[in-house]
Structure 1
C-alpha cells in the first residue's frame, strides 16, 4: 500500500512540474526562515562552546531593591557586595563567579581611538566559562588578588588593535589605565561571554564597588550537577531574605533570583517575579517555548493557506482519477491519507533543500559579520526541530484539501465536476 502511495505521489509530481516547483519554492522559503530562527534560538538558550555548561549553572542578574515603605523601587544588576558577601559563601555550589555586563569603552592605540566592549571579571569566571585560549593565558586567582593590570582580548579585537593574533606583552590604554595583554581567546557571542576585552575585577580605580548592593555585576552559580539546581534556587531565596542593606540611604531590603538562561530572558521580557518552576511558577522555558511555537505557527499559516489553495486546484484536476478510485472501492480515509502523504513528501523534499540553504544562510551570517562573533550551525537538535516543523507544515497544508478530495461524489467526479 505504501509503495503504491509513493509511486502515485511521484507520478503526480512529475505530471505537473510547474505546480511542484511553485509548491517547493513556497515550502523552502518558509522552512529556511524557520530553521535559521530555530538555530539562532537554540544557540542562544542551549549553547555549545564557551557556555556549554549552561545546563548546570544559574545566573543571578538582577536585584530588586526597595525601602521600608515600598515607596521607592529599583531594578538593576547586582552590586559586588551581594556576590562577595552572600553568594560566594553559599553551600551546595561548585563555584560562584562575578562578572560585569558589557561596558562600552575606548582604547587609544597610535593616537587612534577604537570603541570596544569590556568586562571586569574574577578568576572563577574563567573556570565557569570554557573559552578556547588561542594564545597566552587567562587571569588567575593571584592576578585578581594582586589587582594586576592584565587583559585578555578576543581574537578579532587583537587583530584590529595590533594586527597580530597573539599580541602578548603589548600594552593598551583605556579609561586612563594601562593594561598588559596576557591572553587571546576565540571570539564568542553568548550572553555571559560576549566582549572584546576582559580585565580583573580588582583593576577598578577605587574600591567603591566592593560596598555596593546594586551595581553592574552578574553572578554565575555553577552546580556540581543539574540535579542540584532546584536546591540552589531555594538557597538563593533564603539568602535574599537575610540581605542587609545597612548603610544604604535609599533601600532597606531586596530580592534576587537564580535563573537559567531561558528563565532569565522570560523574567526580563515579562517583568515577572514568577517564572521559577521549582516554586510553582510558570517556567521560563514553557513561556518561551509556547511563545516561539505560536509565532512559528502564525508564520506558517499564510504559506500553508497558499498551499491549501494550490492543492484544492490540483484536486479539481484529478477529479476523474478520484472518481475511478472511489468506484473501485477506495475509502475516504485512503484517499485523504494519499494526499496528505503526497504533501508531506513534498514538504520533506523542501525540508532537505531548506536545510542546505539554511546552513548557507548561517555561514553567510558568520562570514559577513552583521552580528559580531556569531558562531552557529545546523546541529542534530536543529535538524530534529526542522524535521518536526516540516511534517507539521505538510500536514497543515494537506489536511483541508485531503478532506475535500475524500468527500467528492464519485458520480460527479467521473464526470469531471466537484
Structure 2
C-alpha cells in the first residue's frame, strides 16, 4: 500500500553503461546525418533532401554568425567531396565532434538520454495532416534508411573514437558495452531465480512492516509503531533517510531525548562535511532534499534538530548552557555551505541570540528586584554591567543575522513579533529607574 523505504540499487557501473549506450547511439546518428549531407544529390532526392533549396544548402539570411560559420564549413566539405578532393578522416572526425558538441551545448541538454529521446518524443508530429492538393500528397524519401555498407563505415569511425573513451573504464563495463553494441544482452545476477525469490521474500516482509507502522501511527499506538520502526532499521537495503520523519514523530510521542539523539545521529552520519569531492560521481544515488540534502540544500532533519533543540532549551531550567552550546554548534555550521547559504539556518541563529537575550534580561530583572539596594551586594554593579554588555551583544547579533536571513526576498518571518520582543527586552534591561520596587 505504502512506498517501501528501500535504497536505489543502481550502481556506478550500470550508470556508466547506460550513459555509454545512449552516447554511442547519439554519435552514430550524428555521423550518419553528416555523411548523408555530404553525399552527392540525385535528381530524385535533390529536392527532398535540400528542401527545395540550391546546392549551397542553408539560407544564411536566417542564420546567426555561429550558425553561418558551421554552415560554411559544411558547405566546404560538401564541395570538396563533389570535386573529388580527399578529406582526412581525423580532420573530419574532429570537425564533426566540434559541430556536435557546439550544437548540443548551445541548443540541447547535456544528458545523453534526453538527447536520444528528443528525436522521438514529438507529439505535434503524430497528428495526421490532410492535404487538399493532390500534388502535395507525395511521399518523401525515407531518410532513416541506411545500407549495411554505410552502417559499417559509420560504426568504424565511431568505434575508433570509443576505444579511447573506454580505456579508463571498469573491465566489466567495457565488456558489457562491447557485447551490447554487437547485439548481445548482458545478464545480471539479479536475473537468477534464487536471488529473485529471496528478494521477493524480503520485499514482502518489508511491505508488511511498513503497513503496520503506518496503521499504528494513524491509530496513535506509539509502542507498536516504535517496534515496527526498529525492525525496519534492521532489514538490509532499507534507507533510513526515507523514514526519518516517521521515526521522529514516533520518538516525539515516546521520549524527546531519544528524538534529539536520533536526529543528531542522522546529522553526523549523513553529513555534508564529507562531500569535499565530486558529488555527481559518488553521490548520484543520493536522496532528495527532504530525505538527504545535497551540497547546496540543507537536509530537513538537520533543520528539525535545530528547531527541537531551540524549543527545548528555551523551556528547560538550564537554558543558558544549552543555548550557548546550540549557538556554538550553529556558528560552526554556517562557516561552510550549504548552511551558510540557507536563510532558515540564519533565522534560527538569530532566534538563539534572541532567546539568550531574553533569558539574560529576565535574570537581570529578578536580580535587581531581589537586591534593590546596591550596598547589600558589592558585586551587583559589576554583574549589571556584564549582563548589559551580554544583552547588547545578543541584540546586535540577532539583528545582524536577521538581515542575512532576509537577503532572499522569498523568505518570510514574523518581523513585527520579533521587533516587539526586542523592544521589550531593551526596555526591561535599560529602564531600571522605571521598574517598581
Higher strand proportion (structure 1 or 2): 1
RCO higher in structure (CA 8 A, sep ≥6): 1
Choose 1 or 2 for highest CA Rg.
2
Q: TM-score, normalised by structure 2?
A: 0.22
